[in-house]
Structure formats: structure tokens, C-alpha cells
Amino acid sequence: MADIIALLPDHVANQIAAGEVVQRPASVVKELLENAIDAKATSITLIVKDAGKTLVQVTDNGIGMSTTDARLSFERHATSKIKIADDLFNLSTKGFRGEALASIAAIAHVTLKTKREEDEVGTEIAIEGSQVTSQEPAVAPNGTTISVKNLFYNIPARRNFLKSNAVEMRHIIDEFHRVALAHPSIALVLTHNDNALFNLPVSNSRQRIVNIFGNKTNEKLVPVAEDTEIVKVSGFALKPEFGKKSRGEQFFFVNNRFIKSPYLHHAVSAAFEGLLKQGTHPGYFLFLEVDPKSIDINIHPTKTEIKFDDEHSIYAMLRATIKHALGQFNVAPVLDFNKDTGFETPYSYAKKHPSAPKIEVDSSFNPFVEDTTPKQRNISFPFKREKKQPQWESLYVGLKDDDVLSKPSDIDTSSAFDNVEYESDEITGSLFTTSEEQTTHTTFQLQNKYIISTIKNGMLVIHQHLAHYRVLYEELLKNITVNEGVSQQLLFPLQLHFSKPDLVILESLKEALEHTGFVFGETEEDTIQLTGLPISLTESLAGSTLEKLVRDIKEEVPDAGFSQNDLLAKSMAKSMAIKSGTTLSKEAQEHLVHRLFACKEPSVSPDNTAVLVTIDANDLDKKFQ
């Protein structure tokens, strides 16, 4: 039998390794930005086209590379960060495996231009699918420029797994934010399709957060700082009243490296216990500095998970630090049950000057002399009560004598009930009554949550929120599809504040939102203006509706085309639908039932949940047997 085990060719091994390192264009952005930071760059420019599918280019002003280093950088496991295995436990740099450039070059067209300050000319290398097509001297500024074009051009199957440009661009922006927040001392620029999205100058941590998430973020931040032998904690936490239902603004950095840690997140949530509204999550930007020997960052291919030697101590320290910060800045409420409120000055007397009491003494009073004069008891009241006799005559002013003073026997009872109509149920053979037969209401509300409607052989129990959800969903989806949205103009424009990443999402959905009835005004740096709203949407719900829409877009990651419109209609309909606990009039109940049965799918909600339940009369009869 012939041997069946063989060594993989280098290009196949590189493509397999690329599956771990490069999952989408955002992975390329992360690796290239980290390489630029390791090169001691102070200014980095990221240029992206078609959400990274066509081009990802990173330019830095770092130390650059020599001709030999430039060529070796594309070899597998070639790195300048470690020499021996023990160096893995004493890392202060980002990339250390030597897989990034080799994996990227295996699945894309890569061009590298680099030059050191002491060299007269630089080096330019072009690689396609791990094959070096050219290497020659070139004129280049100090630093390095790497261009990655046509990602996954030789792996069509993996390219088909990429999402729409809007989704992939959001992942790129997330990676850009993580690098920018960890390194405020580096100037960063992000350009997408020749549009400058972010231009972040050199600043401190607080200003960098404000530059990314908008000026309104500054008033939300609470400084967090603590320095111990185990860990040094710094950064900011958002005030509890600004908690969000999504987990967007939550960032952990360990030694300036972004990580995901549910364990540490639980420590932060425990510190906010009792301060957040139901269903909301805290926001934070926390930087932890620990001894590199006490952590292992090589347990995950993307290096976003870290193993700590002493997690319990860091958990306790982080929780106590955030609690102290919230209490120090009077964010946490203080309750003192031992305080005696009797010594407090009433509010009405707070600004009044005290007056000295006056004492009057009767100098002629002698307690040993008996007073023989009769004592009169004189009690004075602050007001005088007068007992008034009822004026019966005033009740009959303006009435005729024969109408009021007539005897009961004089009242004409023959015509008293001539115009009284008696209401009775008619027996009908139809399921629904006609307009002429509708003399009574056919619905009533149960617990302000369900609408009960009678039918021929029983009754219908309709969930009012889900029913309205289905009605609005079909209306909004129709308006988006056929562009027939009707809006109501606002007398005063509505100003809504969003972070810059959220504004990018709303800009991508602007056309679809206009078809539903939204009318947008001027859009400033972190403010969006609304001059018109859909008819079914109240002004008080406009902000929460758009916030929920952005949150759903982030969480559900829709694809292009119809599914994004479907998600848009679902999110808006769910926010605009009447909630359980809302009291509806009889007319509103019947109107909702009629609109529900005019829908294409009245029995299920857009989330495939039952909207109505039919209870047969025979089932009710069995309950009483």
C-alpha cells in the first residue's frame, strides 16, 4: 500500500492559515493597523473601498523596513517580536505570530512600499497569491504603505460568505475604533470611497472618546482610576442614566489591547447593580495595565481573549474601583436612615431671619390671693362659623309654577315613555353583522392586553400588541417597497443626538426611512434633524424608534436587498405598535380587528408568533359538564 501522508504545499498551508487570521476585510484592517503601531508610527491613514473588498490600504510614518526585512515579512512565522518561546509571556507588541502578512498575501493582491529614514531609496514588492511578482527599488516616504486588493480573489467560496458593504463596513469601523481608543497619542484617519469618515488628531483618552462618539458623550463620562500592585485601572464609565439596551459602548483594554471578557463585564455590571433601569446595560471604556507575565494572550486566533493568572482579584478590584468612582462623583444614591429630619429647617422658613421671643408678665398677679370674681370662659376661634338656613325658594327660581308646584296626580304620564326605544338582540345567520345591524359593540378588552371578539361558533382572543405589530409591519413594508410613505410635518423640527457610528448606519438607511414617512433636515456632526414623521409615529417615540432600529441593525446584521427592508419594517413596527397595558376605546378595538383581518397573514406576527387564538363554544360547554 502506498504512503498516504504528504506535506502540504506552502500556498495551500497559507490559504488554510488565512482562514483563521482573515475572516473578513475587518481582519485585514486589524492586522495592518497593529503592524503600523508596532512600527512606532505617530500618524496612520486607512483607506477603504467597497467595504474592503476592493481595497484596504494602510499608510504610516513608522520606522519602515530594509529590503531584506520587507521580503522576509511575507514568509510564514517570520517576526521580529519574539526570539524564544518564553517571549510569548512577556509581550508588549501587537503582532507576534508572523502569520498576518503571509496569510493576507495568500488570498489577495498585495503591494508593499517601505523606506527607512537612513536609506536613500525604499523597496516595493508586489505579491499575488503568495507568489512574488516583482521586487524593485522605489521612491517612497519614510514609513510603510501596504495595499491589499481583491480580497479572496482565489477563494470564491469564502468571498461568497461576505455580507453586504454596509455590514462589512461596520465591522471595519469597529476595529478602527478599538485601535483608536487604545492609542490616543496616534493620529488616525479613515476614508471610505473617498469620503472621510474619521479624522482623529492626537489627544488624550477623554478627548479621543468624544471625537469618536460625539460631543454629547463628554457629559456622560465618569472618570475611573485606581493603582494597585495587581492591576492599574483607568478610563471612564457612562453615568447610569445613559445606559442603553444594546451593548455597543463597552470596551475593555488590557495593556492597550482590546479584549472580550464576560467575566470582567460581570464585575462592571455588579458595580452598577441597583443604578440601571430594567433591561439596560452600562457603558464603559476601561484600560487595565497588568504584568505581561501574568496573562496569556495566545489562547485565541484573533487574540481578543486573555487568560489571567488571578482573575478573582482583578474582578474584585474592578468592581470596587467602579463603585468608588460612581460614589465619588455623586452618581450613586446615598440613603441615610439614621438621619433625624426633625432638626431640618422647613423650606418655607429657610430664608427668614429668626426673631427673639417676647414674654409678657402680669406684675399684679399674686398666687396667695383668692380671686372671688366669677370667671368667664372666653374662647376665641380664628374664624367665626355661621349657621345658615337653607334658602329653599332659590331652588325654584326660573321655573314655572305649574312645572314645579304641581301635584303628582297632575303630572301627565301618558306621553312620558312614548319616545323610549327598547334594544334587543336579533337572531341572524351571518358571522358578522351588517352596518345596519351593528347596534352594539362586538369587542371588549381583557386586562388591557387582549381584545375579545365574538364569532359565530365561539370567540377570538387577539393579542393587541402583536396584532398592531402585524398591521404596521405590512403597511411599512409596502411603503418601503412602492415608495408611498405618508408623513406628518412637525411645527418645530426635532433634534436627535446619535454617536458617529450610529449616524453612519442611519445615513445608509436614510432613503428607506424616507419611504416610510420620515423627513430629514440638516445633519450636523452628531445631531440629526427630523422635520416630518410617519403618521403612526408620535413625536415622543421618534428617538426611541430610531435608537431601536440602529440597535437591531447592529445585532441582527442584515444582508443586502429585501432582508434589510424587512428588518427595517420589523424594527419600526415593533416600536410603534401599541403596548400591552394600553386602554383602547371600543372604536379603537374594532378598528384594530378590522385592520388585522385585512392583512395577508393575520394569524401570526412578523416574528412568527401567534396573534390570535380561537375558543370554540363546544370547548366552553365542556368546562361546565
Residues 221-263 pLDDT 10s: 999 998 888 889 999 999 888 888 777 788 999 888 888 888 8
Instruction: Answer whether residue 619 is part of any domain.
Output: no
Asked which of 295, 328, 361 is the last residue of a domain, the reply is 328
pLDDT tens string 395-409: 666 665 555 444 444
Place 507 in a pLDDT band, splitting at 50, 70 and 90: confident
Least confident of 172-181, 198-207, 340-349, 459-468: 340-349
**Does some domain include residue 126?**
yes
Least reliable range by pLDDT among 89-93, 139-143, 485-489 = 89-93
How many domains, the chain? Answer: 3
**Of 301, 328, 355, which residue sits at a domain end?**
328
Q: Which residue reads 463585564 in cell numbers? A: 265
- Which residues neighbour 285 within 8 Å (Cβ) at sequence distance 6 or greater? 181, 205, 209, 221, 235, 236, 237, 249, 251
Q: What pLDDT shows up at residue 278? A: 80
What local confidence, expressed as pLDDT, does residue 437 receive?
A: 44
Same domain, 171 and 254: no
DSSP secondary structure, 39-86, as one string:
TT-SEEEEEEEGGGTSEEEEEE-S----HHHHHHTTSTT--SS-SSGG
- Tell me whether residue 124 is in a domain: yes
Q: Indicate if 473 and 584 belong to the same structural domain.
A: yes
- What is the residue range of 141's domain? 10-200
CB count in 10 Å sphere of residue 511: 10
Q: What is the pLDDT of residue 169?
A: 87
The CATH code of the domain that includes 548 is 3.30.1370.100
Q: What is the pLDDT of residues 64-123, one digit of tens each?
A: 988 888 888 888 766 666 656 655 556 666 665 567 888 888 889 999 999 999 989 999
Residue 350 located in a structural domain: no
Q: Is 581 left (phi over 0), alpha (psi -120 to 50) or beta?
A: left
Whose cell is 477563494? That residue is: 155
- With respect to residue 400, please indicate whether it lies within any of the assigned structural domains: no
- List, for residues 32-51, the tens digit of each pLDDT value: 998 899 888 999 999 999 98
Percent of the chain with pLDDT over 70: 77
> Residue 551: CB partners within 8 Å, gap ≥ 6?
244, 245, 246, 248
- Please determine, for residue 180, whether its predicted confidence score (pLDDT) is greater than 90: yes
Query: What average pLDDT score do residues 470-475 get?
Result: 89
108 assigned to some structural domain = yes
Q: What angle do CA 49, 50, 53 make, to 5 degrees?
A: 95
Considering the domain architecture, whether residues 78 and 225 belong to the same structural domain is answered as no
State how far the Cα of 117 lies from the Cα of 127, in Å rounded to an integer. 24
CA neighbor of 28 nearest in space, from 115, 97, 82, 107: 107
The reported pLDDT for the residue numbered 409 is: 47
Mean pLDDT, residues 139-161 taken together: 88
Mean pLDDT of the 345-368 span: 73
53 and 149 co-located in one domain: yes
Contacts of 184 (CB under 8 A, 6+ apart): 202, 203, 204, 205, 207, 208
Bridge partners of residue 308, in order along the sequence: 295
Looking at residues 176-200, what average pLDDT do you find?
A: 91
- Report the first-to-last Cα separation within the chain, whole angstroms: 80
**How many helices (H) and strands (E) are present in the chain, helices listed first?**
17, 22
Return d(Cα 96, Cα 89) in angstroms, integer: 11
**What would the mean pLDDT of 209-232 be, rounded to a whole number?**
88
If asked whether residues 170 and 126 sit together in one domain, one would say yes
- Where helices occur in 244-296 by DSSP H, the ranges are 262-271
- The answer on pLDDT for 149 being more than 50 is yes
Q: Once rounded to an integer, what is the mean pLDDT over residues 464-484? A: 85
pLDDT value at 140 more than 70:
yes
Identify whether residues 132 and 110 lie together within a single domain: yes
Give yes or no for a contact between 328 and 321, defined as CB atoms under 8 angstroms apart: no
Pair (498, 602) in one structural domain: yes
| Same domain? 269 vs 238 | yes
Q: Quick one: which of 39, 14, 19, 22 has its CA closest to 102?
A: 14
Per-residue pLDDT at 560 = 42
pLDDT at 559: 46
* Gap between the Cα atoms of 116 and 61, Å rounded: 10
Q: Tell whether 262 and 310 lie within a shared domain.
A: yes
Q: How far apart are CA 425 and CA 445, in angstroms?
A: 21
Q: Does 347 fall in a domain? A: no
User: Out of 36-45, 321-330, 344-353, which region has the weakest mean confidence (pLDDT)?
Assistant: 344-353
Q: Minimum mean pLDDT among 180-184, 307-311, 583-587: which range?
A: 307-311
Asked whether residue 182 falls in the same domain as residue 236, the answer is no
Please, which pLDDT band fits residue 196 given cuts at 50, 70 and 90?
confident
CATH number at residue 53: 3.30.565.10
pLDDT at 307: 75
Distance between CA atoms of 172 and 166, rounded to whole angstroms? 10
CATH number at residue 265: 3.30.230.10
3-state SS, residue 3 = coil
Winning range, highest mean pLDDT, from 56-60, 242-246, 288-292, 561-565: 56-60
Which of 278, 295, 328 is the last residue before a domain boundary?
328
d(CA 516, CA 510): 10
Q: Is a pLDDT exceeding 60 seen at residue 614?
A: yes
Count CA atoms within 13 Å of residue 426 on its CB side: 12
Of the ranges 133-142, 310-319, 386-395, 593-602, which one carries the lowest mean pLDDT score?
A: 386-395
Give the Å distances, CA to CA, from 66 to 112, 248, 551.
Answer: 12, 41, 46
232 & 314 share domain: yes
With respect to residue 396, please indicate whether it lies within any of the assigned structural domains.
Answer: no
pLDDT, mean over the chain: 79
Phi first, then psi: give them for residue 236, nearest 5 degrees: -145, 150
- Please state the pTM of the whole predicted model: 0.67
pLDDT tens-digit profile of 399-445?
655 554 444 445 454 555 555 555 555 555 445 544 444 445 578 88
Give the integer Cα–Cα distance in Å for 132 and 148: 14
Cα–Cα distance for residue pair 95/308, rounded to 1 Å: 19
Q: From CA 469, how far away is CA 570, in angstroms rounded?
A: 8
CA dihedral angle for residue 142, residue 146, residue 147, residue 151, rounded to 10 degrees: 180
Co-location of 124 and 69 in the same domain: yes
